[in-house]
Amino acid sequence: MRDEVIVGRDPATGRSMHLRIEDGRIASMEPSDEAGDLWLSAGLIDLQVNGYAGLDFNGPACTVESVIGIVDALLATGVTCLAPTVITASETMMTRSLKIVAEARRLHPSAAACIPFVHVEGPHISPLDGYRGAHPEEHVRPPSLDEFGRWQQASGGLVGIVTMSPHFHESGQYIANLVARGVHVSLGHTHATAEQIQCAVDAGARLSTHLGNGISAFLPRHSNPMWSQLADDRLTASFIADGHHLPQETLKAMTQAKGIERSFLVSDTVALAGMTAGLYATPVGGNVELSPDGRLSLQGSPALAGATVPLAQCIGRAIRMTGRSLGDVLRMATEIPGRFVGGRGQLLAGGRADIIRFRWTDELAVEDVWLAGTRVQRS
């Protein structure tokens, strides 16, 4: 592996620095006198990706080739760490996706380097309309440690996050068992009461999945699952900052309530992300329309049909929506989610050299990507 020096500006201070890379790690970080308009950051971390560039982690379309294709396409956008997200389906179909992701990691070095684990979103979620989102009602089911064991057997222990609703009677025991096995439990798509949410957090749940979404549009003013999760400082929340899933004032208020230290961004992209605007027929949602600004909606309706804005583009939108600095929002796409991936997402001497160099106006435009110290060839 060739050693090299990478020069760019620190988003936190604006000052230039150079990083010396040796054997895939950052050997040193020093101030630099070189001027320039390129910035440096740790590679982006996206812990919720359903698909991208016409490819999918779910359903019959999921193949080893599609997994590798998504990894390569997202690397080009600056994502050096991602959690393929397998959503509610039959156990057979979910297990199939888990096996395929595990096989892709075995066969492809970039997939192994970029995918630390799989995020399973469902099937233990609310069956109620609104809360359930696009997840198929016929496959919603209570948590089962036996089923979880079959997931891990199929994937070689690759499941690292499970999103669930804690309204099920057996939720506390299930959560405690998963946490004891090193799995992060996230609350989402839930109509659970405040008491049920507190019990889940007491059992070890530490995340909230795309807070503000996957919930009914008709809620009590004071007692609802969003307030309960916002109020509990043990929960770190993910947010979709594509400008479509959350209004500006909602994202700003929620991230202020949680604070930067307990907030991070996810894209939650589906297979149509990265595709050209137009009309499409999809297995989930039917006929949908993708607009030039990335809004994916049911054809002829304002209802959303998924997310399509990659994480790099969410950064500029999050800055405009929250009024926070580039340095703060980048932490929400690197360091904060990285805490749930073994500490990835930081530029530190001795640390892993997953790095992006980018231009910044009011959008992040990636110029170069390094994965474990190796420069990624971008098309």
Residue 134 lies in a domain: yes
The answer to whether the pTM exceeds 0.85 is yes
Q: How far is CA 144 from the centre of its chain?
A: 24
Residue 69 lies in a domain: yes
Residue 370 lies in a domain: no
Measured in degrees and rounded to the nearest 5, phi and psi for residue 151 equal: -60, -50
The total of structural domains in the chain comes to 1
Residue 97 lies in a domain: yes
Is residue 377 exposed (0-12), middle (13-18) or buried (19+ Cβ within 10 Å)?
exposed
Cβ-contact 9, 16 below 8 angstroms: yes
Residue 24 lies in a domain: no
Residue 360 lies in a domain: no
Torsion of CA 82, 84, 85, 86, to 10 degrees: -170
3-class DSSP assignment, residue 154:
helix
Residue 174 lies in a domain: yes
Residue 31 lies in a domain: no
Exposure string of 19-29, with b = 16+ CB inside 10 Å and e = fewer, is: bbbeebebeeb
Tens digits of pLDDT across the chain (379 residues):
568 999 999 999 999 999 999 999 999 999 998 878 999 999 999 999 999 999 999 999 999 999 999 999 999 999 999 999 999 999 999 999 999 999 999 999 999 999 999 999 999 999 999 999 889 999 999 999 999 999 999 999 999 999 999 999 999 999 999 999 999 999 999 999 999 999 999 999 999 999 999 999 999 999 999 999 999 999 999 999 999 999 999 999 999 999 999 999 999 999 999 999 999 988 766 788 999 999 998 888 888 888 999 999 999 999 999 999 999 999 999 999 999 999 999 999 999 999 999 999 999 999 999 999 999 987 6
CATH number, position 143? 3.20.20.140
Query: In terms of residue numbers, what domain contains 170?
Result: 43-343
